Amino acid sequence: MYNRISPFLISILCIGIAVLYIPMLVLIGYSFNASPLVSVWGGFSTSWYTQLIHNDQILDAAWLSLRIGVFVSTGALILGTLAAIALVRFKLFRGRLLLTGMVNAPLVMPEIVTGITQLLLFISMLQLFGWPHRGITTIVIAHIAFCTAYVTITVQSRLHSADRSLEEAAMDLGAGPVRAFIDTTLPAIAPALASSWLLSFTLSLDDLVISSFVSGPGASTLPMVIFSKVKLGVSPDVNALASLIICLVGICVLMAGYLMRRTERRRVHDAQLAQH
Amino acid sequence: MKSARDTAADWLKSRAKWLIILPPLLYLVVFFLIPFAFALVISLADTAVRVPPFTDILSISPDWHIHLTLNLGNFKYLFTDEVYGLSYFYSIKTAFFSTVICLALGYPMAYAISRTSKTTQSILLLIVILPFWTSFLLRVYALEGIIRETGLLNTALLWLGIIDHPLQIMRTTFAVYIGIVYSYLPFMVLPLFATLEKLDHSLLEAAGDLGSPPWRAFLDVTLPLSMPGIIAGSMLVFIPAIGEFVIPTLLGGPNNLMIGRVLWDEFFGNRDWPVASAVAIAFLVLLVGPIAIYQHYSTKQLNS
């Protein structure tokens, strides 16, 4: 009797999912509207997409954001994985509490506060050391800080559940701890590494507030350009751009999820075969 | 002879482990923690017409005396100008009601997902998480297409004959609520699902056997046991919602003065960095309570 789901629950679930998806679907619909007036349906057209290809401001901003995203997600992956290893494998060390706080705080700190404080730091550093100049460098540094936190949380939970017996077996067979880790545990946490790289990439690509604070003249990321256009109201070329981004990210995430599940299943399967 | 395990333990005990600990620790301390110290220092400075636009706190006079000039005026200013008090109050109010709506919508969703089969669960969770991966800014923008005067909602309601002139939703407080609920709903559903999934159903059956009607069993068993999820989810919505900038700027009207917008204007509009720093520090003090509650319950959930 308790295992049946009531129609009430099902309808709330459907409403919730509809709330999440309808705005995006409508946006994609509008992006194919031939009429520049967003309220009138003027027939099907892909003209906003062709206009997009010729918009240098948007293309430059997109290229800048992609480059920043690659630097950020790679940097955050390295730092976050190290932090996760430290927190899971070293039970006691001086600074453990500090590190725990440092990987949790960015997750709950409002972006606007992080952005302001980081800008103040960069300006003071520039005065004292003559580095870093505001622009792509400061954006990358600032993004790595909050993305590291997300990577650590993701990798940490995977590392907790990873089986250590293989690693110990490798060490009993004479492998050094680093070698043993790379050969046994690293493949096991690889899906988590891949998904946290992807997560950092999308978080960096999407960030508006922190970038706006720490960026300098001449470095406008894609969200900054979109935001300045959107503030003026709905515009058809942003509809096209937004639809492109939403579809690309959706496809990438679904594909990555599928691939990770497949490799994970194969790995578990292989491990089971090896045990028999 | 030492086992390989002991040798490894020795190796780990040696300094090499600091090669793993120090890079992330130092990075986050320098680029996340120390900035707050700078903000605190600058909030005690005075505005000045120069680059950067604030006075030095420490100065050394020609005869090598060190002068420390602290200016508490910025914090006093926060209390005298009622814009700040109002915007703090308004932000908390908006975040609170948005969180309540999120909970009212998210709890039944999480509950329904937790009662489905494992395969359906993973598909439904993916559907809920997917919007979190797509751009936050673009999703808020997409919402405008629904709720603006000529948007889908008004067109549909007019066509159905429910209303005879378009509803003004854009640039109202209601639009801000819709925006926050829409953007943060996944943050509410996920922690709730995590606790509800672990729920021991035999407890519910026991309550049923002892004569509790389902609603009573829900209130006595399910609700108390899912409290950690309720609190974690609520904090995950409440904390970022207080500091929200994009939603009140794009969807709200001039009355929706949330603290994020005040900070932004103080910084970019008035270029008053010391006051902006003071606003940020005061905001941070305000957040310590909710963040502590969140940490407490999320670590509890992790350990269980």
**ipTM confidence score:** 0.90
The partner residue sitting opposite A2, judged by closest CB among B131, B208, B250, is: B208
Best B11, B26, B141, B215 residue to mutate vs chain A (most A CBs within 10 Å)? B141
Pure H helices in B81-169: 82-114, 118-133, 136-147, 152-160
Look at residue A2 in the predicted model and tell me its pLDDT: 46
A19 and B27 in contact by Cβ < 8 A? no
CATH of the domain at A154: 1.10.3720.10
Q: Does residue A71 fall inside a structural domain?
A: yes
Q: Does residue B85 fall inside a structural domain?
A: yes
8 A C-beta contact, residue A236 and residue A68: no
Q: How far is B148 from chain A (nearest CA, A)?
A: 10
Largest CA distance in chain B: 89
**Domain limits for position B100:** 77-303
SS3 B58: strand
With contacts defined as CB-CB under 8 Å, which chain A residues touch B24? 79-80, 82-83, 86, 99, 102-103, 148, 152
8 A C-beta contact, residue B53 and residue B43: no
The first and second tokens of residue B256, run together, are 């929706």
**Domain limits for position A251:** 55-275
The least confident of A148-152, A181-185, A272-276, B104-108 is A272-276
Q: Does residue B49 fall inside a structural domain?
A: no
Q: Is the pLDDT of residue A156 over 60?
A: yes
SS3 A33: strand
DSSP B252: -
B182 and A103 in contact by Cβ < 8 A? no
Give CA–CA dist A47/A31, Å, rounded. Answer: 9
Q: Does residue A20 fall inside a structural domain?
A: no
Mean pLDDT of chain A: 88
Look at residue A1 in the predicted model and tell me its pLDDT: 39
Q: Does residue B237 fall inside a structural domain?
A: yes
Q: Is B3 exposed, middle or buried (0-12, 13-18, 19+ CB in 10 A)?
A: exposed
Q: Does residue A38 fall inside a structural domain?
A: no
Best A72, A117, A164, A165 residue to mutate vs chain B (most B CBs within 10 Å)? A117
Q: Does residue A26 fall inside a structural domain?
A: no
Report the DSSP beta bridge partners of residue B60. B66
Q: How many domains does chain A have?
A: 1
Best A89, A104, A116, A228 residue to mutate vs chain B (most B CBs within 10 Å)? A116
8 A C-beta contact, residue B120 and residue A240: no
A3 and B115 in contact by Cβ < 8 A? yes
Q: Does residue A44 fall inside a structural domain?
A: no
Question: CA-CA distances (angstroms) from residue B110 to A2, A5, B130, B207, B219?
Answer: 16, 12, 15, 22, 16
Q: Give per-residue pLDDT as tens, B278-295.
A: 989 988 888 888 888 887
Task: Tell whether A247 lies on the interface with B, counting CB pairs under 8 A.
Answer: no
- Mean pLDDT, residues A182-204 taken together: 90
CATH of the domain at B146: 1.10.3720.10
Q: Does residue B42 fall inside a structural domain?
A: no
Q: How many domains does chain B have?
A: 1
- Mean pLDDT, residues A159-177 taken together: 85
8 A C-beta contact, residue A151 and residue A79: yes
Q: Does residue B200 fall inside a structural domain?
A: yes
SS3 B166: coil
Q: Which residues of chain B have pLDDT under 70?
A: 1-14, 49, 58, 300-304
With contacts defined as CB-CB under 8 Å, which chain B residues touch A224? none
SS3 B262: helix
Nearest C-alpha in B relative to A78: B24
The first and second tokens of residue B274, run together, are 């010391």
Look at residue B182 in the predicted model and tell me its pLDDT: 93
Residues in CB range of B139: below 8 A, 6 or more apart: A23, A24, B131, B182, B183
The partner residue sitting opposite A95, judged by closest CB among B21, B239, B245, is: B21
Give CA–CA dist B287/B291, Å, rounded. Answer: 6
The partner residue sitting opposite A110, judged by closest CB among B150, B260, B267, is: B260
Look at residue B304 in the predicted model and tell me its pLDDT: 54
Nearest alpha carbon to residue B95 among B287, B277, B278 = B287
Q: Does residue B196 fall inside a structural domain?
A: yes
Output B170 or A271, whichever has higher pLDDT: B170
Q: Does residue B66 fall inside a structural domain?
A: no
B242 and A110 in contact by Cβ < 8 A? yes
8 A C-beta contact, residue B219 and residue B139: no
Q: Give per-residue pLDDT as tens, A210-249.
A: 999 999 888 899 999 999 988 887 678 888 998 998 898 8
Q: Which of residues 136-155 of A touch B (CB under 8 A)?
A: 141-142, 144-146, 148-149, 152
The pTM assigned to this predicted structure is: 0.88
A9 and B134 in contact by Cβ < 8 A? no
pLDDT band at A13 (very low <50, low <70, confident <90, very high): very high
Q: Does residue A96 fall inside a structural domain?
A: yes
Give CA–CA dist B136/B154, Å, rounded. Answer: 24
Neighbours of A91 (CB within 10 A): 7
With contacts defined as CB-CB under 8 Å, which chain A residues touch B17? 86, 90, 93
8 A C-beta contact, residue B130 and residue B212: no
Annotate A192-229 with three-state secondary structure.
HHHHHHHHHHHHHHHCCHHHHHHCCCCCCCHHHHHHHH
Q: Does residue B53 fall inside a structural domain?
A: no
Residues in chain B: 304
Look at residue A164 in the predicted model and tell me its pLDDT: 83
pLDDT band at A117 (very low <50, low <70, confident <90, very high): very high
Q: Is the pLDDT of residue A119 over 70?
A: yes
Q: Does residue A42 fall inside a structural domain?
A: no
Q: From start to end of chain B, where are the E strands?
A: 58-60, 66-68
